[in-house]
Amino acid sequence: MQFASRWLPRNGRPEVTHATGNSYLKDGVLPHMWCAGCGIGTMMGALVRSFEELGYRKSQTVVVTGIGCTGKLDDYLVTNALHTTHGRALAYATGIKAFKPELKVVVIMGDGDGVTIGGNHFIHAARRNMDLTAIVLNNLNYGMTGGQASATSPGASITSTTGYGNPERDFDICALAEAAGANFVARTTTYHGWELKDSIKTALTKTGFSLVEVMSPCPTQFGRRNEMKETTAMLLSLRDRATPLDHYRELPEAQRVGRFSTGILVDRGEPGFNERYAAVRERAVREAEGATS
Ligand SMILES: Cc1ncc(C[n+]2csc(CCOP(=O)(O)OP(=O)(O)O)c2C)c(N)n1
């Protein structure tokens, strides 16, 4: 089965890609398990197209996931894969990349995995500027376990654990990554399929910690409780809320309510962990040899 090869980008300019990414999918795995309207399949399509366009070798690529609907993604791929524990995917990925810097390591997480139970690993992977690409699909709740509130469920939203409205405030995942030191941060949505593929592709080419936040409310658990009963309503909401960074910056505070900035939000280009670590190792070896000679 082939993914549709046409996307309608935000500016309405139709573009065509011949990349299907199909060679990175296991035979016979489609149709996938995700609910109708869920964006995880869209994200997987963007990821495998990016691999194809960048010519990623399967044997050199490792997709690391945690637990959750989003964490099921590695089941579909023929790359190396490591399905880890809830919230700890970045810790496993850090070990892989530190030991084998030549591998391309991509970490796929839900918002629960990535920044709720996994918040501490997330902060420190960004602080270390680990040479990883983290893709967080933000569906605004714990999808797999029944739609409980996560650290990204908006204040006042209705979830299975906040039946009268969420009293907590939500994380801005991109702001968190930026503050912690990530080299590259981008945000887009599953409505903007073409931009999604480009964001992932760009992130994969960066050194240091790169993050793509993919906004895609869970239609089954979150949408139906929060006035997005139909999948189309959810997609139109993504279309209307997503605001390119330049435009977002110009908006007065009051007009930012209900919107989020999209595009490349941070691009620092600082040395990543592997480069810094190699320099430290070299110095240590030099000094140790100097001490024994
Ligand atoms: C340590 C641990 N705590 C809790 C769970 C139960 N659990 C499994 S998936 C999940 C929620 C996943 O939510 P998220 O990471 O946002 O992914 P989604 O399913 O929404 O894609 C939870 C709480 C678990 N497997 N392990």
Looking at the domain assignment, is residue 254 inside a domain?
yes
Q: How far is the CA of 113 from the centre of ligand 1 (A)?
A: 6
CATH number at residue 125: 3.40.50.970
Of 116, 145, 150, 216, the one to substitute when testing ligand 1's pocket (max ligand atoms within 8 A of C-beta) is 145
Prediction pTM value: 0.93
- Report yes or no on 217 lying in a domain: yes
pLDDT single digits (tens) 46-84:
999 999 999 999 999 999 999 999 999 999 999 999 999
The residue segments making up the domain with residue 137 are: 34-292
Distance 83 CA to ligand 1 centre (A): 13
Q: Quick one: average pLDDT of 156-175?
A: 97
Q: 34 C-alpha vs ligand 1 centroid, how far in Å? A: 15
Q: Is residue 2 part of a domain?
A: no
Does 67 sit in the ligand 1 pocket, CB within 6 Å?
Answer: yes
Report the nearest-CA residue for atom 11 of ligand 1: 142
Split into its structural domains, the chain has a count of 1
If you search the block for the tokens 């190792």, which residue do you land on? 281
What pLDDT sits at residue 17?
A: 58
Q: Does residue 160 belong to any structural domain of this protein?
A: yes
- Using one digit for the tens of pLDDT, what is the confidence trace for 174-225? 999 999 999 999 999 999 999 999 999 999 999 999 999 999 999 999 999 9
* Ligand 1 atom closest to Cα of residue 144: 19
176: in domain: yes
CA angle 187, 191, 195 (to 5 degrees): 50
Q: Is any atom of ligand 1 closer than 6 Å to the C-beta of 112?
A: yes
Is residue 14, in this structure, part of any structural domain at all? no
Does any domain span residue 23?
no
Task: Give the pLDDT of residue 190.
Answer: 97
Residue 198 lies in a domain: yes
Q: Is the CB of 152 under 6 A from ligand 1?
A: no
Split at pLDDT 50, 70, 90, the class of 13 is: low
